[in-house]
């Protein structure tokens, strides 16, 4: 009997253990797997772009070479979200020096663009995401040049070859992209755009091979200029390619098109343009250094929010509990109020980062969060008081409750980490679906429409001035741990980009999720602050959650006064990320099932 009992006990133990293992596997299951490798990894919003980056890495290029190749392809296969005409923000970790740097690739306003011009000629309004008056300078080509010249190893000819092949040979359209092309009203308004996107007088269908020969010719012009100057050395050859775009025949074509069709850009605007390499801003969050681009973008708002949230025991609140979502959203609203008052182009305004990122200011702002009630007001603070400053910044902020400004947007994302642990987080964008909607002449690309972000209220942080960069919604994230690379991540899509990257980061740092679990977790979003696009509408008390947030939590948020909208499951945005595991050297790459993105690693 003893033998039989022991045998039976063993069987029962096995059954129990198998059941435990099955439950554990179920709890860890994700819609997409974590993609792991030991050498290098790439993630982006489209599979061909990720493949292009990996192709360059396989050929011996580094992360900077690979990200240029990947984004050039992304520009073609994700043309609603980004393109050759994109602006961008980029964060890089240089493994040789250990530096983290920001590349500000926001376009500048035309010299002819003033608040007075819009009042006299356009009824005091900036066209929203449509037409040449909403345009901003394409900046990614200059960003390509800076990445290759300062940190890369390859030529334009090498890194642009995958994009030229995609443009000439074509790629099969997905259902999502085919639908976007067919539904876009902007495309049908402009003959030059119809020539590219409706080449046979009809919208191409899913599964059809789509080509952009004009874009291929534009990219070939860069390669041609590089080849013609190869004898002068790599730097001179790269610069010649870049200058052909901003100072040569491509620039003259862009300028002539704008002048002929009522736009404000002129040749001098392109010739005088350059991206800026800047020192990023950062905070320490529980031992992790989180970096953001400092100027002309909303990225630092995430740092303001994290400083407030660091004062709470988020683990005790519980992931996506009523208290956790409420506290996070309320902190975000306060941070966004400071975005409105303080963030913009640092060449034109002062941003009091010493105060904004201080412990004392975060402590003061935290006291404004009512644990029981949602706020409905825009409440910027006065961080200058925590800088030993003798005075406060006299800067107006206004709230507009009229109109239907969109807090969402169309952007893309690509990140690369190489074998040396160089890291690049690259967020390119046309801002809104297909940007201005206008393909410029026979160049094959559309300008981004970031020009509709400016305020037309004099004195505001983001007020329009000639040569000024708009405060964009773009933002990249780069995280270090004990001075070593830890993570890069980014999110397409308007004002809630930082809400997504922050939630993903906290999912990992606070709730021990792996990179893919963190990306796939249910999300929330608020619009209770002024929208970035004109006319900058605020929706007081607004809060959205995905339907996968429990009904009890939804009811609890309503009870706290939030104006709650339940969105469809898997509907709030997209994320791509790469984690560097310092203990094992393994790279964990993830991408959002909410998008058509893809991650790869070796």
Q: What is the pLDDT of residue 390?
A: 62
Alpha-carbon distance of 564 to 149, in angstroms, equals 49
Tell me if 418 is assigned to some domain.
Answer: yes
Residues 339 and 473 in one domain: no
* Alpha-carbon span 59 to 61, nearest angstrom: 6
The pLDDT value given to residue 347: 98
Cα-only R_g, the chain: 24
Q: In this structure, what DSSP letter does residue 22 have? A: H
Same domain for 495 and 351? no
According to DSSP, the β-strands at 563-567 and 542-546 are parallel
pLDDT of residue 275: 98
pLDDT reported for residue 410: 76
- Confidence at residue 391, expressed as pLDDT on a 0 to 100 scale: 80
Torsion angle defined by CA atoms of residues 82, 106, 41 and 72, in that order, rounded to the nearest 10 degrees: 40
Residue 188 included in any domain: no
Residue ranges with strand state E in 196-314: 209-210, 276-278, 281-285, 288-292
Q: Tell me, what's the pLDDT at 7?
A: 36
Q: Within a 13 Å sphere around the CA of 234, how many CA atoms are in the beta-carbon half?
A: 13
| Contacts within 8 Å (CB) and 24+ apart, 387-394 | 387/352, 387/354, 387/355, 387/358, 389/352, 389/355, 393/341, 393/342, 393/350, 393/352, 394/459
Q: Look at residues 315, 348, 376 and tell me which one is the last residue of a structural domain.
A: 376
Distance, in Å, from the CA atom of 506 to the CA atom of 492, rounded to the nearest integer, reads 18
Q: How far is CA 198 from CA 84, 212, 446, 546, in A?
A: 19, 11, 14, 35
pLDDT of residue 365: 98
The answer as to whether 249 is a domain residue is yes
Give tens-digit pLDDT for 213-265: 999 999 999 999 999 999 999 999 999 999 999 999 999 999 999 999 999 99
Q: 284 forms bridges with which residues in the sheet?
A: 289
The answer as to whether 247 is a domain residue is yes
Residue 284 domain flag: no
For residues 105 and 87, the answer to whether their CB atoms sit within 8 Å is: yes
Based on the domain organization, do 369 and 270 belong to the same domain?
no
Q: How long is the chain?
A: 602
Kindly provide the residue ranges of all beta strands, DSSP E only, lying in 19-124, ordered along the sequence: 35-37, 41-44, 87-93, 100-105
Residue 387 domain-assigned (yes or no)? no
Output the DSSP codes for 119-140: HHHSTT---SS-SGGG-----H
On whether both 355 and 478 belong to a single domain, the answer is no
Cβ–Cβ contacts within 10 Å for residue 406, how many? Answer: 16
Residues 245 and 308 in one domain: no
Largest CA distance in the chain: 99
Residues 260 and 355 in one domain: no
* Per-residue confidence (pLDDT) for residue 345, from 0 to 100: 98
Mean pLDDT by 10 residues, the chain (602 residues): 36 41 60 98 98 98 99 97 97 98 98 98 93 97 98 98 98 97 95 97 97 98 98 98 98 98 98 98 98 98 98 98 98 98 98 97 98 98 87 90 81 97 97 95 97 95 98 96 98 93 98 98 97 93 98 98 97 96 96 97 98
Helix, coil or strand: residue 182 = helix
Q: DSSP string of 507-545? A: HHHTT---HHHHHHS--EE---S--SSTT-B--TTEEEE
CB neighbours of residue 84 within 10 Å: 29
CATH number of domain containing 317: 1.10.246.130
Q: Beta-carbon neighbour count of residue 591 at 10 Å?
A: 29
The answer on 510 and 440 residing in a single domain is yes
**Which of the listed residues 358, 376, 394 is the one where a domain comes to its end?**
376
Residue 394 is assigned to a structural domain of this protein: no
Number of domains in the chain: 2
pLDDT digits (tens, 9 = 90+) for 335-393: 999 999 999 999 999 999 999 999 999 999 999 999 999 999 999 999 999 998 668 88
Q: Which of 348, 376, 404 is a domain's end point?
A: 376
Instruction: Check whether residue 322 and residue 426 sit in a common domain.
Output: no
The answer to whether residues 423 and 556 belong to one domain is yes
Query: Does residue 114 contact residue 466 with C-beta atoms inside 8 Å?
Result: yes
Q: Are residues 223 and 371 in the same domain?
A: no
Residue 554: give the domain boundaries: 35-97+109-170+211-274+412-601
Tell me the C-alpha distance between 186 and 194, whole Å.
10
Question: Can you tell me the distance from the alpha carbon of 311 to that of 363, in angstroms, rounded to the nearest whole number?
Answer: 8
**Within a domain: 516:** yes
Strand ranges (E), 117-248: 171-172, 209-210
> Residue for token digits 């825009």?
378
Residues 503 and 360 in one domain: no
Task: Round to whole Å and give the CA distance between 503 and 513.
Answer: 11
Calpha distance 38→580 (Å, rounded): 9
- CATH number where 219 lies: 3.60.20.40
The closest of 227, 353, 349, 226 to 300, measured between CA atoms, is: 353
Residues 368, 366: Cα–Cα separation, whole Å: 5
Task: Yes or no: say if 493 and 407 are a contact pair by the CB < 8 Å rule.
Answer: no
Q: Which of 151, 87, 146 is nearest to 276 (CA)?
A: 146
Both tokens assigned to 472:
């964009």
CA angle centred on 460, ends 541 and 446, rounded to 5°: 85
Query: Do 452 and 313 share a structural domain?
Result: no
Distance between CA atoms of residues 70 and 576, nearest Å: 14
């Amino acid at each position: 009997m003893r033998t039989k009992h022991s045998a039976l006990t063993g069987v029962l133990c096995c059954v129990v253990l198998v059941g435990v293992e099955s439950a554990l596997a179920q709890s860890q299951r994700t819609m997409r797997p974590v993609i792991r490798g030991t050498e290098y990894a790439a993630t982006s919003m489209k599979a061909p772009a990720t493949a292009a980056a990996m192709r360059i890495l396989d050929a011996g290029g580094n992360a900077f070479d690979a990200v240029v190749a990947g984004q050039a392809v992304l520009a073609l296969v994700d043309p609603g979200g980004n393109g050759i005409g994109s602006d961008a923000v980029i964060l890089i970790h240089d493994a040789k020096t250990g530096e983290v740097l920001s590349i500000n690739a926001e376009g500048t306003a035309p010299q002819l663009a003033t608040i007075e011009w819009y009042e006299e000629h356009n009824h005091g309004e900036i066209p929203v995401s449509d037409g040449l008056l909403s345009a901003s300078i394409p900046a990614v080509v200059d960003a390509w040049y800076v990445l290759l010249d300062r940190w890369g190893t390859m030529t334009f000819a090498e890194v642009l070859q995958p994009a030229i092949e995609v443009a000439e040979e074509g790629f099969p359209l997905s259902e999502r992209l085919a639908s976007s092309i067919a539904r876009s009203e902007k495309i049908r308004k402009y003959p030059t755009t119809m020539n590219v996107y409706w080449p046979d007088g009809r919208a191409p269908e899913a599964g059809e091979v789509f080509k952009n020969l004009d874009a291929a010719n534009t990219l070939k012009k860069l390669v041609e200029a590089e080849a013609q100057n190869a004898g002068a050395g790599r730097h001179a050859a790269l610069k010649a390619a870049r200058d052909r775009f901003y100072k040569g025949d491509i620039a003259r074509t862009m300028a002539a098109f704008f002048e002929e069709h009522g736009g404000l850009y002129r040749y001098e605007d392109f010739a005088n343009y350059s991206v800026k390499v800047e020192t990023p801003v950062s905070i320490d969050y529980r031992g992790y250094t989180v970096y953001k681009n400092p100027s002309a973008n909303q990225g630092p708002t995430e740092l303001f929010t994290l400083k407030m949230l660091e004062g709470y025991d988020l683990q005790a609140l519980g992931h996506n509990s009523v208290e956790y979502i409420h506290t996070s959203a309320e902190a975000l609203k306060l941070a966004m109020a400071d975005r409105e008052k303080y963030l913009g182009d640092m060449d034109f305004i002062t941003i009091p980062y010493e105060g904004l990122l201080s412990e004392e200011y975060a402590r003061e702002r935290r006291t404004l969060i009512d644990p029981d009630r949602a706020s409905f007001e825009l409440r910027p603070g006065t961080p200058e008081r925590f800088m030993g400053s003798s005075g406060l910044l006299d800067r107006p902020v206004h709230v507009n409750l009229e109109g239907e400004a969109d807090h969402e947007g169309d952007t893309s994302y690509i990140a690369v980490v190489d074998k040396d642990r160089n890291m690049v987080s690259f967020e390119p964008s046309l801002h809104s679906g297909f940007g201005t909607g206008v393909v410029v002449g026979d160049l094959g690309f559309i300008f981004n429409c970031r020009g509709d972000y400016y305020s037309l209220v004099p004195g505001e942080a983001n007020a329009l001035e000639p040569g000024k960069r708009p405060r964009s919604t773009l933002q990249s994230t780069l995280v270090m741990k004990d001075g070593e690379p830890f993570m890069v991540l980014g999110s397409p899509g308007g004002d809630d980009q930082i809400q997504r990257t922050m939630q993903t980061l906290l999912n990992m740092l606070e709730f021990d999720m792996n990179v893919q679990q963190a990306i796939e977790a249910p999300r929330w979003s608020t619009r209770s602050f002024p929208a970035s696009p004109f006319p900058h509408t605020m929706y007081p008390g607004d809060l959205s959650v995905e339907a996968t947030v429990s009904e009890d939590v939804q009811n609890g948020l309503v009870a706290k006064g939030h104006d709650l909208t339940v969105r469809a499951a898997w509907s709030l945005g997209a994320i791509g990320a790469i984690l560097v595991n310092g203990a094992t050297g393994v790279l964990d790459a993830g991408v959002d099932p909410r998008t058509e993105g893809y991650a790869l690693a070796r």
